Amino acid sequence: MSEWQPLDAAGLAAAVPGIAGPWTAIEVVRQTGSTNTDLLARAASGAPEGLVLATEEQAAGRGRLGRSWVTPPGTALAFSVLLRPSAIPAARHGWLPLIAGISVAAAARAVSGVDARLKWPNDVLIGDGKLAGILAEAAGAAVVIGIGMNVLTSPGELPAGPGGLRPTSLLAAGAPVAREAVLTAILRALGERYERFRDNPDPKGCGLLAEYRDVSATLGRDVRVELPGAAILAGHATGIDDDGRLLVTADGKEHALAAGDVVHLR
């Protein structure tokens, strides 16, 4: 890999006041095991809402279902945000990673023009390639959302895609964009949608359900869902409910799924 350019930590820190949302600080570290693990610990110690932690290199990043996510230095975005959604009913917290997904897709579209879409619950796709993944974890009343996106990763450097998805990046899609621009665009999109949902935690009433439908690659398709405990449900994905669960019709019944690994069927 050619010499990489580190994130402009000072520029990102200075940009915080101009980014919509609850953001209080953006910190950048050279290397860590997992930004989610770090922010979960800081949340437990009383860190305020709005802290953003990004790293150049993540050695023990985690995805859903215990999968690993390791970032090569200087090519990807690996960051986590700390939220304290006390005004949002706990039953609606399942929408937080979905809101993050909408925001990542919207930001990718805005800064690069790619047709980014969502595979429920948390994969951001370009075509059939995985651009980004999202992991939300709770620490008491706090929620930490981790986002990993391949930005300037060349096709030859892309890691193997977990869950059967081939990896892709903005660079591989023909859209080389500075990582700082992508990060600030994601924070701007996420901050606006988070505050909208916090003020009106009704996904239909605040417009988030319609936004999700517009960018979903899952709704309206036949799917196979690998459920916790190794059970499999095959059916037709019809919608998202008020608590962020995927609605799948199978064997004449509607199933509301809170977790699972979705495979799109041709």
Domain membership flag for residue 15: yes
Residues 255 and 157 in one domain: no
Residues 17 and 146 in one domain: yes
Q: What's the CATH number where 78 sits?
A: 3.30.930.10
Domain membership flag for residue 101: yes
Whether the CB-CB separation of 145 and 97 falls below 8 Å is answered with: yes
What are the tens digits of pLDDT across the range 92-122? Answer: 999 999 999 999 999 999 999 999 999 998 8
Give me the number of domains the chain comprises: 2
Mean pLDDT of the region 210-224: 97
Instruction: State how far the Cα of 125 lies from the Cα of 239, in Å rounded to an integer.
Output: 19
What are the tens digits of pLDDT across the range 63-92? Answer: 554 555 566 678 899 999 999 999 999 999
Q: What's the CATH number where 223 sits?
A: 2.30.30.100
Name the residue among 119, 104, 102, 90 with its Cα closest to residue 201.
Answer: 90
H or E segment and range at residue 214: helix 208-215
Residues 150 and 231 in one domain: no
Instruction: State how far the Cα of 73 lies from the Cα of 61, in Å rounded to an integer.
Output: 13
Residues 154 and 255 in one domain: no
pLDDT higher than threshold 90 for residue 257:
yes
What is the DSSP annotation of 124-186?
A: EEETTEEEEEEEEEEETTEEEEEEEEESS--GGGPPPPGGGPEE--TTTTT----HHHHHHHH
Range of the domain at 225: 219-264
Name the residue among 191, 189, 181, 74 with its Cα closest to residue 124.
Answer: 189
Whether the CB-CB separation of 175 and 113 falls below 8 Å is answered with: yes
What are the tens digits of pLDDT across the range 39-65? Answer: 999 999 999 999 999 999 887 655 554
Instruction: State how far the Cα of 167 lies from the Cα of 133, in Å rounded to an integer.
Output: 11
Q: pTM for the complete prediction?
A: 0.93
